[in-house]
Amino acid sequence: MNLKQIIGILLLIGGVGAFIYGLSIQETAEYQFVSEFGGDTSRVALLMIGGIIASIAGLLLLILGRSKKTSNPTYSHPDAGKQFEDSTDIQHFDERKLTQIIDNSGLYRPEVVEASQRELLIRQKSEELLPQVREKNDSELREIVGKPALYTEELIRAAGIIMEERRRLWQEEQERAEQEARLEREKQAEEQRLQRIAARKKRRPYILAFLAVLVLAAAGTGYYVYQQKQERLEMERRAAEERRAAELKRAEEERAAQERLAEERRLAEEKQKQAEAQAQAERKRQAEAKAKADQERREAGFYRIGELYEKNGLRGIVFSIDETGAHGKFISLKKEKLTYIAAKSKIYYADKTFRLPSKEEMEIINVNLATLNKGLKSAGGDVFNTKDEYWLDYEEGYHAHFFNPGSDRMYKSLTISDTPNVYYARWVYEF
């Protein structure tokens, strides 16, 4: 590209820009108002005329620069002064040139002759592989060309030839389509140009011809943009419909899945309820069987700690038994708050077999306190409270002892004469 062509391109671009700018001014409301009331609009016309003249001058410079370049052709060999650095340069030679190098091996360097022979051999083998390679698709061809370490040079060359053929065919199709579109646009532009020339022949014949071309080009661009917009809107509408259909389908599937899940959950709940009912019935049966067995065992005279002793009018909670369970001790169900002397007197005068618990017995009671309280509560008795203090059947001189379950200092003593001291009393019976 020479200087004239560069100047021509700049003038053409500037002229077209000035003309389009003048057209945009004519479309404004201010210009329409000034033109309607006879105002000065010559500056816009001069701008458009100047743009047309600059465009024409640019076209002439482009034509002159190109003709000058083609009128003085010069010839230079493409390989003149070129150094052969690798076999890539040999690949650009045709077969005639390669044969010439091989036939005149004395005129060329050995590596050039060897590379030429190898290149001819590769081309022959690649020609043989062309029918097989032509059946492969584009992705397979790209894999062959993109991984030279896996395939032979002949296969890579054949793949490159096929890819070049397909690229050339694609380019020809694109150029043909562009040519048809260009011819159609030129036809439309010419028709519009003739219409504008007929309408403005007396005023601006040369300007209107160029204006028709530009307007037609703008109309074609607008139509293309409009078509693109319409296609985009249509695609968006279809996509929206597909999304809506997909959402409806997904909602229907979710509803069906929820119904199925609810049905499965209901069946599982019914199955679980049946299992729980069966388990509860089994537990009830086992509890009844155990209660019956315990009742039979107690009626036979065998007891466990925490069970109710009820025989011959005597009632109490068993807190100690021997290894057989037939003999042991139970504590009274009720507790009373008395002085030590009153508690002792009540026991010995009421029934010689009842007495206050000893220190050892109260320790056994303290160990099994939770079990005994459970039995007392079940039998309607008074449970042991860790804040209560109970009399013991234990004296040292003039001092009596009492017991405080759960306290750090469980045993305490006081003088027997201190009659105002009142504590709880429970009585033990041996069976």
Quick one: 215 and 352 in the same domain?
A: no
- Quick: pLDDT tens for 370-399: 999 999 999 999 998 878 888 888 777 556
Q: Are residues 35 and 136 part of one domain?
A: yes
CA 224-210-225 angle, 5° bins: 10
Sheet holding 399-403, edge to edge: 336-338, 423-425, 390-396, 399-403, 411-415
Name the average pLDDT for the chain.
80
Helix axis angle for 205-299 and 42-71, nearest 10°, is: 90
Is position 90 within any domain? Answer: yes
Name the more confident of 65 and 145.
145
The answer to whether position 234 is within a domain reads no
Each residue's pLDDT tens digit, 125-140 = 888 888 888 888 888 8
CATH code, domain carrying 336: 3.10.100
What is the tally of structural domains in the chain?
A: 2
Supply the DSSP symbol for 106: G
Predicted confidence (pLDDT) at residue 72 exceeds the cutoff of 70: no
313 and 205, same domain (yes or no): no
283 located within any domain: no
Check whether residue 216 and residue 323 sit in a common domain.
no
Q: In what order do the strands lie in the sheet with 328-332?
A: 308-311, 314-321, 328-332, 428-430
Are residues 173 and 44 part of one domain? yes
Per-residue model confidence (pLDDT) at position 245: 93
d(CA 422, CA 254): 76
pLDDT at 420 over 80: no
Residue 191 lies in a domain: yes
Average pLDDT over residues 198-218: 65
> Which of 198, 222, 246 is the endpoint of a domain?
222
- Same domain as 164, residue 52: yes
Residue 67 has φ and ψ, to the nearest 5°, of: -65, -35
Residue percentage of the chain with pLDDT more than 90 = 26
Are 51 and 158 members of one domain? yes
Give the pLDDT mean for 95-108: 84
Range of the domain at 407: 308-430
* Position 99 in a domain: yes
Residue where a domain stops, chosen among 222, 237, 264: 222
| pLDDT bucket at 411, cuts 50 / 70 / 90 | low
pLDDT band with cut points at 50, 70 and 90 for residue 209:
low
For residue 427, which of 394, 391, 397 has the smallest C-alpha distance?
Answer: 391
Give domain status of residue 289, yes or no. no
Q: Do 208 and 333 lie in a common domain? A: no
Task: For residue 193, give the H/E element and its range.
Answer: helix 153-199
Residues 94 and 218 in one domain: yes
Are 7 and 131 within one domain? yes
Averaged pLDDT for residues 337-363? 77
**Averaged pLDDT for residues 262-276:** 93
Residue 265 lies in a domain: no
DSSP letter, residue 410: -
Same structural domain, 201 and 102 = yes
- Per-residue pLDDT, 81: 38
The model's pTM is 0.36
pLDDT band for position 351 (cuts 50, 70, 90): low
The reply to whether 57 and 153 lie within a common domain is: yes
Q: Where are the alpha helices (DSSP H) in 72-109?
A: 87-90, 95-103
In the predicted structure, residue 86 carries a pLDDT above the cut 50: no
Final residue of a domain: which of 222, 244, 269? 222
What is the pLDDT at residue 98? 82
Comparing 213 with 175, which gets the higher pLDDT? 175
CA distance 30 to 10: 31
Q: Is residue 101 part of a domain?
A: yes
